[in-house]
Structure 1
Amino acid sequence: MATNAKTAHEEAIETVRDLIKGIDTAMLTTVTKEGLVSRPMKTQEVEFDGDLWFLTMKDTFKYEELKQNPHVNVSYVGRSYVSIRGQAELVDDRAKIKELWNAAYEKLLDTNSDDPNLVLIKVKAETAEYWETGNLTKVVKRLFSKLTGTESETELNKTVDL
């Protein structure tokens, strides 16, 4: 039984990895006293293993928001739509920052990888919901099912636990 659960977990991670691969920008949603706030974040070129990594500065609102409430949502739009819910952790690790650093950050953040104001956001994914809109066959089957009133096992939307 544990093998099946592990396989399902690995399959869920692999599916999400495939769906978000190559998407340069994600929307990170944090919780504030006033409500929810979303902002674009550069996706790290790290293979998804259940964790997402982002780079930010300590003197930002999102840094303070994450210190107050680590619950986040990260959404991706590409050939599919993916919404990942999880817990954020602020990680002050110079070696990891240097590992993830690239020239685009120097221009984007107007700093270098040695800046003590830099910090990582590590999102431990808990669940992911996705819509496979790029699969035309599934879309057509699902539409036909709706038009005819018949049941369809073709899912355009699915939620997986990570």
Structure 2
Amino acid sequence: MTDRNLAEIAEKMRDIDVAMLSTHTQGGAIAGRPMSNNQDVDYDGSSFYFTWDKSQVVEDIERDANVSLAFKGDDGFWVAVEGKAEIIRDKVAFEEHWTDDIDEWFEQGTDTPGLAMIKIEAVRAHYWDGEDEGEVTLSS
């Protein structure tokens, strides 16, 4: 087991766009869905994902903010992130994380009615890189 810091993990995560976001449903089950961070991949412990305000993922997060993210790189690098999520409904914040690729899903850009953004602040990240594995605690 090797100890790496967040900067080293972030460098390995730099090109990973899609994560599996898992939430807790009303009945207590775990629900997972793939989410794109839209090439906003400079990882500092925060992740941002756009969605619809009336989606199940938003409902799940508003009930229980404890979530997990799973990332897989092309080179056998994996990261499991435990974090706290919040729903953001602020257009200024949308614009900070918007890329043109998102227009495919939200045609009116940051003016799309019903748009929401999920911010996930990592608490802990466990990584596997071949036979190397370790954990980084980001906050408590």
Fold match, TM over 0.5? yes
Identity of aligned residues (%): 27
Specify which of 68, 77, 98 is matched with residue 73 of structure 1: 68
Task: Give the C-alpha shift of residue 20 in structure 1.
Answer: 1.2
Other-structure match for 1:136: none
Other-structure match for 1:121: 118
Other-structure match for 1:39: 33
Look up the equivalent residue of 2:34 and give its one-letter code.
Answer: P
Query: Is 1:54 equivalent to 2:30 in the alignment?
Result: no
Specify which of 86, 89, 93 is matched with residue 92 of structure 1: 89
Q: Which runs of no fewer than 5 residues in structure 1 stay unpaired?
A: 1-7, 134-138, 140-155
CA RMSD of the aligned region, Å? 1.7
> Across the two proteins, how many residue pairs are aligned to each other?
132
Which TM-score applies when normalising by structure 1? 0.75
Q: Which has the higher contact order (CA 8 A, sep 6+)?
A: 2
Other-structure match for 1:26: 19
Look up the equivalent residue of 1:57 and give its one-letter code.
Answer: W
Q: Greater share of strand residues, 1 or 2?
A: 2
Offset from partner CA, 1:58-83 (integer Å, 9 cap, x none): 01100100000000001100120000
Moved over 3 A (4+): none
